[in-house]
Structure 1
Amino acid sequence: MNFEALGLSPDLVKAVIDRGYTQPTPIQLKAVPLVLDGRDVLAAAQTGTGKTAAFVLPILQRLAFVGAARRGQVRTLVLTPTRELASQVHESVMDYGSHLDLYSTVVFGGVKAEPQIAALKQGVDTLVATPGRLLDLAQQGLVDFSALEVLVLDEADRMLDMGFIHDIERIISLLPENRQTLMFSATFSTEIRSLASQYLVDPACVEVTPANSTTALVEQIAYPVDGDRKTELLIHLLGEEQWSQALVFCRTKHGANRLTQELLNAGFTTAPIHGNKSQNARQRALDAFKGGDLQLLIATDIAARGLDIDQLPEVVNFDLPSVPEDYVHRIGRTGRAGATGRSHSLVSANDAPLLQGIEHLIQQDIPRVHVPGFEPTDRPPSPDDTELKSGAGDLPSKIRRPRPASRQRKRSGNGSSQARGNDVDSPKKTSSAA
C-alpha cells in the first residue's frame, strides 16, 4: 500500500515523497486511518517505526481541511517529554506541512520565552511543547486553548517516568473536553492504560510490535570487559572496526563528561549531551553530529530521548542502563526506517545482573564477543553479596490516583472539524520558536 491509499491529500503525499519515503510503516498503516476518522487512539510502537508521521500526517490533513488558526489560538497540542524530542517533532511538522498554509511553533525551557510568546500571539495550528514551559506560559494567560481540536501525548511512558504527571493533568484541565486525544507510548504498561482510561474516549488500540521487543534490524553484541578497561576497549573498537559515527550512552552526567574528555585526549571528535548542558549547547552538539563534524556523541538516557538521527550505524552502551526498558529505547536510535544498525554493550562483572535483566525483558540472549587482549579478570558478585548490598524490606507501592469522571464528547470524522473563520494575520511560518 502507498501513502495515497491511506487517504492523504496530494500535498501531504508529495511532502512524504520529498523526504524519500514511498511505503507506509506498519504503525502508519494502522494509525493514520483511525486518526483521520476522528478516533481517540492509544498506540504502542518501538522508536524508529515512523510513529511521529503516524499522527502528524493525519493531523495536518485535518487542520488543512478548514484553514489556518485564528490569531492567538492553538488548534493542536503535541506534548513531549524532552526538548530534543519537541524539536524533532516540530521539524517533522514543518517538513510534512511544507506544501500547506499552516503554522507551527515549538515551546520548551532553557531558551528565552519571548520569541515563543510572540509566535503564540500570532496563532498556531500545531504547538509542540514540553510540559514545564507550556504550563508556565499557560498560567500567565499567554496560551489560548479555547479552539483546541487535537491533543497528542507523545512518548507518554517517558513523561510518566520523568514525573510530568502533575503538569500533564494541569494542562489537560485547561483544554476543551470536546477534542481528539492521541497517546503514543513504547509500551502498554499498567500506568499508561490507567492514564488512557482517564483522558481517552473509547480509544482504538494499535500495537505493531510486542511490548519491550527489539527490532531485528539491530545486531546486538555484548563485550565482556573489566570495568576499568571500558574506555580502552571502546577506543580499540573505534580503531579496529573504523566506525564512522556512534552514539554512546553513559549512566550519569559526570560519566559522560569524563568519557568525553578521555576520548578527546585520544584524538576523537566528541561532545557530551546531558541535562546539565544548556539547550543551545545540546543543539549545537546534535547539529554537529548530524552534520558529520562529530564522530562520537556521548549521551545520558534523558538527553537522548527522542533523538532522530538518520542512518546512525552504531549505538554503544558504555554503561548498561539501570532500567531494562531503557535498553530498548537506546538501541532504537539505530535500525530506523528500514536501515540496519548495531548495538555494542560493554559489560563488566558488576554489569552481569543488568544484562540478565535486559535479556529477560527482550526474551532473547545477546551474543558475547570476547576481544583478544581484553578478556575480563573480574568476577561477578555472588548472590549473597548482592542481597547484603540491596538491603531488606519491600518497596512502597505506587499511590493510585482516584479516577475522574469519564469525559464525554462528540466526535468528528473524516478529518473534519467545526469550521471557523480564517482571519489570521500573516506571520511567516515559524521554523522554531527558540
Structure 2
Amino acid sequence: MTFVAERFAEIRPLVEMEAQLARAAIAARGRFYEGDEAAIRYALSLARAVYVRAPDGRDVAVSRLLRPLRERLVQLLWPLLDPQRLQIASPHELLPAARAAADAARTARDEVMAALGHRLPLESLDREVRDRHLVLICGGGGGTGYVHLAAFALLEAAGLQPALIAGSSMGAILGLFRAREKRFDMARIPEILADLTYRKIFRIIPQASVYGLPGPLRLHLRAAIGHWFRNADGSAVRISELPIPLLVTVTGIRRGKLPRPLEDYEQLLEVPDEDPARWGLHTLHRSVQRLTEAVQELGVIHYDVARDDPRMKNLLTELLRKHNLLRLCDGGISDNVPVRTAWQHVQRVGLGGNGSRNAVFLALDSFAPRLLTPLWYPLQSIAAPAVARNRPYAHLYKAFRRTLSPLALLPSQRALSGIVARAKEELLGEIPVLQRLCAPIPAL
C-alpha cells in the first residue's frame, strides 16, 4: 500500500461518516440539536486534517498527532453512522456520542497546540477545520457528459461554488467552460454550442502524431473554442489563470507497453464522417464494436500540438522524458471519474489561495454501466473498474441513469434542454446533503 493510500485508508471511515451525518440531520427534520451536529462535524473535520497551512505559508503536519482522535471517533460513531446501517441514526442515539466526540476533539486540539503551537496558531487550525470547500469531479463519456450542466446549474442555485474542478475527457472540456467564470450562466451554453460544428472540432486528415496517438479523429480544440478563452488584450487565457482552478487528467503510455505498433491505431477505426449522426445504423454498430477494441487499448479521439508553440512543445517533451512516456492519450481510459487524483492533488498542494485541504468531493459519473444502453455497455464496463476504485474518495458519487448518447457531441437545443431537466431531477435530492456538508462548521 502506498503512503497516500495508507493515509486515505485511515480517514475513509471519517469521510463516510460525514456524509451519513448530513443525511441523519436532514432525516431528523429539525429534531437534531444543532450544537450536537456541529460538535460531531467539528470532531470529524479535525480528525481528517493532514496538513495545515501556517501564516508563514508553510504546511504543518498534524496527522500523526490526530491518530488517537481518529481511532476514538471510529469507536464512538461508526456503529451509528455506518453507511450500511439499516436505519439512519436518530437524534437521541447521536446525543451521547456528540458529547463524547466534542470532549475528544477538545483534548486532541489541545495536544496539537501543545506540540505545534509555536509554529501553528490556534486560529489557523480552527480555520482549516471549520471552512469547507467544494471539489467537483466531472467524468468523461462524450455526449453523456452534458448532464454535468445540470449539476453546474443546481450548484449555482444552491450557492455552492467549486473551489476546484477536476475532469477527464468530455468532463474536462465541460469543466473548462465552467471554470472560465466564477458564476455559472446556463443561458450561455446554447450560444456556445450554436457556434460549434463537427468540422470545427474534428478533422479527418492525415496528420503526424508527436505527443498524442495516431487516430481517425483529431481534436482541434483551440480552433473550435479558443476564442471563448481570451483576455481583454486578445491573449489566450492559460489554465492557471482560470477563475476556478481546473485539474485535467490524461493517460500516459510508457515506452514498450503498446500491444501493437503505433501506426496500426489509425487504421483500427475507419471513420466515414466527422458527424456521427450521418454514420447510419450499420456503421454505428460496426464502429462501436471496433471502438470498444480500440478503447481497451488507447481511445479513439486524440489531441496533439500541431501549431508552432515552442513553450508547449518544450513542456510536453520534458513531461514525456521525465516519466519515460511514449505518448499521451485520453484520461478516460485509465481514470474516467478522477476523484482519487483530485484528492491526492488537494492533499499534496492544498486549494488555491488558502492552502486548505478541507474539501468536500462531489463526483459525477455520466458513463456508468446501464443495461438500458446495451450498445454502449461494453465500453462502459471498461471504464467501470477504475471508477469503482475512485468512488471511496468522494463524499457524494452520482451515477446518472439517463443521458444523451456518447456520440451526441453537439446536441440540439431541444435534446440538451430535455436531458438537463431530467438530470436535475436525478441530482436534486443530493443538494441538501451537499449543502450540509459544505456549510461552515460552528466553533467548538
Please give the range of the TM-score, normalised by the shorter of the 2 chains: under 0.3
More helix by percentage: 2
If the length of structure 1 is used for normalisation, what is the TM-score?
Answer: 0.25
If the length of structure 2 is used for normalisation, what is the TM-score?
Answer: 0.24
